[in-house]
């Protein structure tokens, strides 16, 4: 079991000195990787009416500050030495594929191979609209994007003719250290999503609602991975637990249950809500890691 830390995007503030210290203390505490959520545009609450993307209401709005994830991780790569950086997740269909390939490769080179990419289709139609991207066919488009990312990460020159992309003898230079960069897909447990993970991804970030059965979803994923001609045991699975509430005993029991379900990675989150300082969010993550250290592989 590996434990990552979730960077508290909306709560940490924008003091560069504290952000630097945050990453360094997370690394010193033994966290192997740091996750950060990806949003470019936040929309006003009036854009959403009721549940959205599996959430009872929009979880992030214009009032929530977000640092651009590649810029953030490039900054943190310069002040750390072992921490792996994982966007969780880059909303790929609302971004230009070649630009994402270049941003990821740059981060991988400058960090010495410390990038683990995670991509998904997202939930925020208003963000897609503001970025000039089509929300309705994002599931179809991400599959071609993943194929193209891997080619751009491994080939000096790429010629590609797809439904949404045309490249003629072009490439990103320099190529990343990792060829290709490990790539996870974050999604819910719908069959179409799990089959996509099984065919295309190195791992699954499970984005489930409380009423969905994680163990059953992991079992289906491993079955679909085998059907796709791949080793189901090589498919890693990550989910998130909150350590901002509850007790160490409850966190350990939750990790036991996740391990039995086939989860290989757990990202620790410090929780949401006003009233806690950036330092308190950091302290929460450090306490969570200390309580769960015995589960580390």
Cα(212)–Cα(205) distance, integer angstroms:
14
Residue 193 within a domain: no
**Distance between CA atoms of residues 59 and 278, nearest Å:** 19
Q: Which whole number is the average pLDDT over 126-155?
A: 97
In percent, the amount of the chain with pLDDT more than 90 equals 93
The DSSP code sequence of 138-198 is HHHHHHHHHHHHHHHHH-SSEEEE-SS-EEEEE--SSPPSSSSPPEEEEE-S-HHHHHHHH
pLDDT, residue 273, reads 67
Which residue stretches of 97-162 are H helix? Answer: 97-111, 125-130, 138-154
Q: Please tell me the predicted confidence (pLDDT) of residue 272.
A: 81
- Tell me the C-alpha distance between 122 and 230, whole Å: 26
Determine the Cα–Cα distance for residues 5 and 143; give it in Å rounded to an integer.
28
- SS3 for 212? coil
Domain assignment present for residue 275? The answer is yes
Within this chain, do residues 22 and 59 fall inside the same structural domain, yes or no? Answer: no
User: pTM, whole model, 2 decimals?
Assistant: 0.95
Question: For residue range 44-85, what is the model confidence (pLDDT) as tens digits?
Answer: 999 999 899 888 899 999 999 999 999 999 999 999 999 999
Does residue 72 share a domain with residue 23? no
**Are the C-beta atoms of residues 42 and 61 closer than 8 Å to each other?**
yes
Q: What confidence category does residue 292 fall into, taking pLDDT thresholds of 50, 70 and 90?
A: very high
Same-domain check for residues 11 and 110: no
Q: Do both 92 and 154 map to the same domain?
A: yes
Q: How many CB atoms lie within 10 A of CB 247?
A: 10
The phi and psi torsions of 66 (rounded to 5 degrees) equal -135, 130
Task: Tally the C-alpha atoms within 13 A of residue 169's C-alpha that lie toward its C-beta.
Answer: 0
CATH number of domain containing 169: 3.20.20.30
* Location of structure tokens 């941003």: 103
Per-residue pLDDT at 21 exceeds 80: yes
Domain presence at residue 242: yes
| Whether residue 53 is found in the same domain as residue 3 | no
Q: Say whether 55 sits in a helix, a strand or coil.
A: strand
| 177 and 257 housed in the same domain | no
From the list 196, 195, 189, the residue with the least C-alpha distance to 215 is 189
Instruction: Give the confidence band of 297 by pLDDT, cuts at 50, 70, 90.
Output: low
**Token pair of 209, please?**
């609602």
Same domain, 41 and 73: yes
**Whether residues 173 and 265 fall in one domain:** no
Instruction: Tell me the pLDDT tens digit for each residue of 88-130.
Output: 999 999 999 999 999 999 999 999 999 999 999 999 999 999 9
**180-198 pLDDT per residue, tens:** 999 999 999 999 999 999 9
Boundary residue ending a domain (153, 181, 209): 181
The answer to whether position 199 is within a domain reads no
Tell me, yes or no, whether 22 and 151 share the same domain: no
Does residue 157 lie in a domain region? yes
Last residue of some domain: 181, 209, 244? Answer: 181
Q: Average pLDDT of the chain?
A: 95
**52 vs 74: CA distance, rounded Å:** 31
Q: Are residues 42 and 13 in the same domain?
A: no
Which of residues 145, 160, 181 is at a domain's end?
Answer: 181
Cα 93 to Cα 100, 119, 137, 145, 254, distances in angstroms: 10, 9, 9, 8, 33
User: Within a domain: residue 139?
Assistant: yes
Give the number of domains in the chain. Answer: 2
The tokens describing 277, both together, are 């300082």
**CB of 194 within 8 A of CB of 227?**
no
pLDDT of residue 274: 61
Are both 99 and 161 inside the same structural domain? yes
- Residue 285 is assigned to a structural domain of this protein: yes
pLDDT band at 293 (very low <50, low <70, confident <90, very high): confident
165: helix, strand or coil = coil
Domain that holds residue 156: 32-181
Closest-CA residue to 124 (of 44, 203, 70):
44
What DSSP letter does each residue of 123-134 carry, written as one string? S-HHHHHHTT--
Is 173 within the bounds of a domain?
yes
**Pair 20, 143 in one domain:** no
Element housing 40 (H / E) = none
The arithmetic mean of pLDDT across residues 276-282, rounded, is: 94
Instruction: Work out the average pLDDT over 36-40.
Output: 96
- C-beta of residue 89 within 8 angstroms of C-beta of residue 186: yes
Mean pLDDT of 18-22: 98
Closest CA to 188 of 115, 133, 123, 269: 123
């Amino acid at each position: 079991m590996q434990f990552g830390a979730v960077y508290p995007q909306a709560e940490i503030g924008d003091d560069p000195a504290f952000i630097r210290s945050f990453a360094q203390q997370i690394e010193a505490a033994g966290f192997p990787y740091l996750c950060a959520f990806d949003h470019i545009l936040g929309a006003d609450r009036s854009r959403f009416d009721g549940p959205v993307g599996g959430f009872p209401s929009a979880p992030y709005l214009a009032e929530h500050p977000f640092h651009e994830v590649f810029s953030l991780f490039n900054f943190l790569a310069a002040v750390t030495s072992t921490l792996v950086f994982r966007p969780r997740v880059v909303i790929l269909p609302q971004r230009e594929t070649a630009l994402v390939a270049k941003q990821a490769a740059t981060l991988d080179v400058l960090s010495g191979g410390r990038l683990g990419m995670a991509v998904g289709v997202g939930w925020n139609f208003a963000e897609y609209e503001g970025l000039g991207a089509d929300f309705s066919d994002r599931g179809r488009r991400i599959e071609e994007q993943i194929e193209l990312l891997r080619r751009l990460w491994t080939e000096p020159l790429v010629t590609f003719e797809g439904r949404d992309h045309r490249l003629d003898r072009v490439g990103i230079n320099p190529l990343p250290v990792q060829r290709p960069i490990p790539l996870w897909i974050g999604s819910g447990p719908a069959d179409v999503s799990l089959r996509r993970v099984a065919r295309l991804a190195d791992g699954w970030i499970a984005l489930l609602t409380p009423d969905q059965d994680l163990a059953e979803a992991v079992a289906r994923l491993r079955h679909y991975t085998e059907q796709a001609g791949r080793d189901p045991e090589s498919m890693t699975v990550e989910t998130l637990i909150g350590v901002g509430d509850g007790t160490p005993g409850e966190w350990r029991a939750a990790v036991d249950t996740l391990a039995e379900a086939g989860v290989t990675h757990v990202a620790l989150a410090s929780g949401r809500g006003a009233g806690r300082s950036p330092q308190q969010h950091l302290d929460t993550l450090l306490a969570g890691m200390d309580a769960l250290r015995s589960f580390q592989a």
